[in-house]
């Protein structure tokens, strides 16, 4: 009797990076990450969505997408440290290897940040290191800068600080309001957060000397000054 033909083994998909997404509000950046992770070839998967606010709108969106959600309300804890200990244990239990802060509006202590050093990234609505903090669109208009944008970066103990992975830049138009500018920035946030996550999950980003080095940089392009008047 001849030997049976060898069984064909389907090729094994490479393991996907397990990601926790932390939110405090509407969660539109989280949605962009969910959409990216839904692509079969995307190198990351979301294992938990955590909110520090029980009323965060993003929680429903995450549940609708079939994701595990968890509320860890900072008001239930007596100190920042005890809140962060609960957060840390949930993240460890979830198996997450990377945290994506997506509109997570709670300052994290350096103790927590160092525990997740180079394993936690954030999106911020400005071209860092300019315009750290809140109300970036208003402040950009007040300052009269010609360009604005958004940044994805590794998190460091100082607020909105850390090695930069990706940025998008757009012109400030003469008739812009904080809302119109913010809406255009948000569109770009939704582009660069998945891009940055892909680069990190593919192991293409290394942090050296306070900078994030990317081994396959995008092609060199230039932006020119936007119109000075309408
Ligand atoms: C986004 O614009 C994000 O960049 C910003 O909060 C918004 C959250 O929106 N984050 C920060 O300002 C952090 N410093 P979203 O909940 O719809 O993603």
* Domain-located, residue 222: no
Residue 27 placed within a domain: yes
Nearest partner of 32 among 168, 200, 217, 186, judged by Cα:
186
Q: In this structure, how many other beta carbons lie within 10 angstroms of the beta carbon of residue 65?
A: 16
For 137, phi and psi rounded to 5 degrees? Answer: -70, -45
If one residue of 51, 103, 124 were mutated to test the ligand 1 pocket, choosing by the most ligand atoms within 8 A of its CB, it would be 103
pLDDT at 216: 75
| From 29, 53, 120, 162, mutation site for ligand 1 pocket: most ligand atoms within 8 A of C-beta | 29
The strand pair at 164-171 and 17-23 is best described as: unpaired
For residue 80, how far is the Cα from the chain centroid?
A: 22
Residue span of the structural domain in which 54 resides = 17-125+149-167+188-214
| Active site annotation includes 135 | no
Evaluate if residue 217 carries a pLDDT over 80: no
Instruction: Give the per-residue pLDDT at 12.
Output: 74
End-to-end CA distance of the chain: 85
- Give residue-wise pLDDT tens across range 96-150: 999 999 999 999 999 999 999 999 999 999 999 999 999 999 999 999 999 999 9
Tell me if 221 is assigned to some domain: no
Nearest Cα to Cα of residue 123 among 29, 40, 222, 211: 29
Tell me whether residue 144 is in a domain: no
* 227 pLDDT tier (thresholds 50, 70, 90): low
Q: Is 84 a domain residue? A: yes
Give domain status of residue 58, yes or no. yes
CA of 202 to the centre of ligand 1 (A): 24
Q: What is the DSSP letter of 134?
A: S
Per-residue model confidence as pLDDT tens digits over 206-215: 999 999 999 8
State whether the beta carbon of 126 lies less than 6 angstroms from ligand 1: no
For ligand 1, say whether the CB of 96 is within 6 Å of any of its atoms: no
Give yes or no for residue 225 having a pLDDT over 70: no
pLDDT at 13: 73
Residue 11 has pLDDT above 90, yes or no: no
Question: How many structural domains is the chain composed of?
Answer: 1
pLDDT at residue 171 tops 90: yes
Atom of ligand 1 nearest to the CA of 27: 16
Rounded Cα–Cα distance for residues 146 and 171 (Å): 6
Is 101:25 a contact under the CB 8 Å cutoff? no
Q: Is 125 in the pocket of ligand 1 (CB under 6 A)?
A: yes
What is the C-alpha separation between 155 and 152, in angstroms, rounded?
A: 9
Q: Residue 143: inside a domain, yes or no? A: no
CATH of the domain at 155: 3.40.50.170
Question: Would 67 be classed as within a structural domain?
Answer: yes
Instruction: Tell how far the Cα of 179 is from the centroid of ligand 1, in angstroms.
Output: 14
Q: E strands of the chain, at which residues?
A: 17-23, 44-51, 69-71, 98-101, 120-124, 147-154, 164-171, 205-208, 211-214
Catalytic entry in 74, 90, 124, 153: 124
CA-nearest residue for atom 14, ligand 1, is: 124
């Amino acid at each position: 009797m001849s030997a049976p033909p060898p069984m064909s083994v389907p090729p094994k998909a490479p393991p996907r990076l397990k990601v926790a997404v932390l939110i405090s509000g509407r969660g539109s950046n989280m949605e962009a990450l969910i959409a990216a992770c839904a692509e079969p070839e995307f190198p990351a998967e979301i294992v938990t969505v955590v909110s520090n606010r029980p009323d965060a709108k993003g929680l429903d969106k995450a549940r609708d997408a079939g994701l595990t959600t968890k509320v860890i309300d900072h008001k239930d804890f007596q100190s920042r440290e005890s809140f962060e200990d609960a957060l840390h244990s949930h993240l460890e239990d979830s198996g997450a290897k990377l945290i994506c802060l997506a509109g997570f509006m709670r300052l994290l202590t350096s103790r927590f940040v160092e525990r997740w050093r180079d394993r936690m990234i954030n999106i911020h609505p400005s071209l860092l290191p300019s315009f750290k903090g809140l109300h970036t669109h208003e402040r950009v208009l007040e300052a009269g800068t010609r360009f604005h944008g958004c940044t994805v970066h590794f998190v460091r103990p100082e607020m909105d600080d850390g090695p930069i992975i990706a940025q998008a830049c757009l012109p400030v138009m003469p008739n812009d309001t904080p809302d119109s500018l913010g809406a255009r920035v948000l569109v770009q946030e939704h582009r660069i957060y998945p891009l940055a996550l892909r680069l990190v999950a593919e192991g293409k980003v290394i942090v050296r000397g306070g900078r994030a080095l990317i081994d396959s940089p995008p092609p060199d392009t230039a932006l020119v000054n936007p119109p000075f008047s309408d």
